[in-house]
Amino acid sequence: MKSGVQEHLAFFAAILIIAWLLLCFFSSSSMASDISENVRERIRQRMEYTGGNAVTAAAETIYSSVALPRFYEQRGYSPAWLQSGAPSSNCQALVRAIGTAGDHGLNPSEYHLDKIVDLLNEVAANQKAKKALNPGRLADLEFLLSDSFLIYGAHLLGGKVNPETIEPDWTAGKREADLPALLAEALKTNDVEKALKSLAPQDVAYRSMQDLLKQLRAAAPQPSVRLVQTAPSFKLGYRGPQTAALRARLAAAGFLGQDSEQDKEVFNESLEAALKKFQASWGLEADGVCGPATLHAVNRSEKDNIAAIRANLERWRWMPQNLGDRHILVNIADFHLAVVENGEELLAMKAIVGKLYRKTPVFSGRLTYLVISPYWDVPPSIARKDKLPLMQKDPNYFTANHFLVYQGWGADSREIDPASVDWKALGPNNFPYRLRQKPGPGNALGRIKFMFPNKHNVYIHDTPSHDLFAKSQRNFSSGCIRIQDPIGLAEYLLKDAPGWNREAIEDAVDNKIEKTVSLSRPIPVHIMYFTAFGDTRGAVHFRNDIYGRDARLLEALDSLARN
């Protein structure tokens, strides 16, 4: 009997415990639901009643003024970063992701990082003290977290700086993504870090620069090495204190090991060999002579290199989303053209780019045809500014250089005799003629031109001035890209075209009759400007900033204004 009573008492006690637990559970769920609903109302109210003013959260401006409202409207203003009425694990994942912004040359503090951490700590302290969570502060946290993801994501995707605000001729295609949709999916799958990482360029060149940036920042501070001063005939055989400074800087940069020379002021063979290696790594003429361009490169500090990498990581974020499985890449600052197929550089050659006052623009296009033995239709500005003065100095200039002169344009134009014109009476604002140069050895376009129609009227072509390719800095053109091996490029482009092997191309050139050949497979062309860039082997190379663009970009990159 006693045992039966005990069993009944135990049964009722268990029922009471279960009921209490269920009551606690539903009470807790109800509280969490109440908190989430209160936060939802705060979000909705702020979105609907801004009065045209910028939305703020915890005294910080919310910058994603279009994407963030759309994100919350699509979810009925319900909180995105709360779970059971409290911050979810996605919050810490976002904090970790923002903490890596420095690896992209960006500043983590510009993405609300400090304020987000403060709010998360505040919420954790209230939870520990069993204080009620403030819906207004949770709404602040919501806005800051979502804005951080959307703005940081936008900067990884397309750059922090709008290129056209500092480089009007930078018109390469932009990378795009639906960031609110990406954020919603990342929160659903708990993949916030992975989602942000996917927005950055995935190219080996970009990752190589990231790796070097991390190495330079993590390296222990090195003892300062004095700058190398200029010297006359600063080459093999020179003796002076400048040599000791050069030796020290090349050793610090890893280009010079121990040598047997006791007198550090003597410019010996081992120093010359080290200097040539250094010059080659910078794309300079590897002549072993420490001239002005080499001095500038040698005296670069790690701080300068970090700045250059940051600037060029940003430029990579300006690149088109898909370069193409096969494409042509021209780096203006490197005076270099490469044909890339499936990530492998199949063809490379030297290039000549625009002068300082006729800079080659940055843009992307599609090469659709090439012209063998082309005529050169002289752009009006070049005819007025360059060719007219030459004709005024030498009355035979046009005839000697195989220029045809036309009066008028279009169907009504007619060829005239250059000798019939009083050239000295004309000027840059009074030049009613069109110039056309015949095909041949002296033609400014050389043997072949490669066309990718664009608003800049820029294209790739040969040149009769092949001696210029021997120079290390090759900005001599009027904006177009002249290349060292046009026959090789044509052979690659026509490799699948019946009847167009190298011999056929050379025969067509020798005929000196203009011939247009369309490509069965157009190829993307990307004309870019990189003063630091990685290669497929993971190495990073630096080049002189020939157009003086880095400083302006870095100033914009370090501005607190978001884009």
Residue whose C-alpha is closest to residue 279's, from 250, 312, 308: 250
Cβ atoms of 270 and 246 closer than 8 Å: no
CA dist 474 and 22 (Å) reads 79
CB 334 within 8 A of CB 328: no
Strand partners, 154: none
Tokens of 379: 């752009």
Which is it for strands 460-461 and 481-483: parallel, antiparallel or unpaired? parallel
DSSP symbols for 312-352:
HHHHHHTS-S---SEEEEEEGGGTEEEEEETTEEEEEEEEE
Radius of gyration of the chain from its Cα atoms, rounded to whole angstroms:
33
Q: How far apart are CA 159 and CA 154, in angstroms?
A: 7
Distances (CA, A) of 410 to 398, 415, 507, 525: 21, 12, 31, 30
- Of the candidates 447, 213, 489, 172, which has an alpha carbon nearest to the alpha carbon of residue 328? 489
Q: How many CB atoms lie within 10 A of CB 549?
A: 20
Catalytic residue (choose from 104, 480, 526, 541): 480
**Residue 480 annotated among the catalytic residues of the structure:** yes
**Structure letter (DSSP) for residue 226:** P
Q: Rounded to the nearest 5°, which phi and psi values hold at 377? A: -85, 105
- Integer CA distances (angstroms), 48 to 42, 139, 148, 551, in order: 10, 14, 21, 41
The three-state secondary structure class of 448 is strand
Cα–Cα dist 159/98, whole Å: 15
Task: State the Cα–Cα distance between residues 275 and 298, nearest whole angstrom.
Answer: 9
Is residue 104 annotated as a catalytic residue, yes or no?
A: no
Ramachandran angles phi, psi of 405, nearest 5°: -115, 130
User: Whose CA is closest to 463, among 481, 445, 440, 442?
Assistant: 445
Point out the catalytic residue in the list 461, 466, 526, 541: 461
Residue closest to 375 by CA, chosen among 402, 338, 345: 402
Which positions are catalytic?
Answer: 461, 480
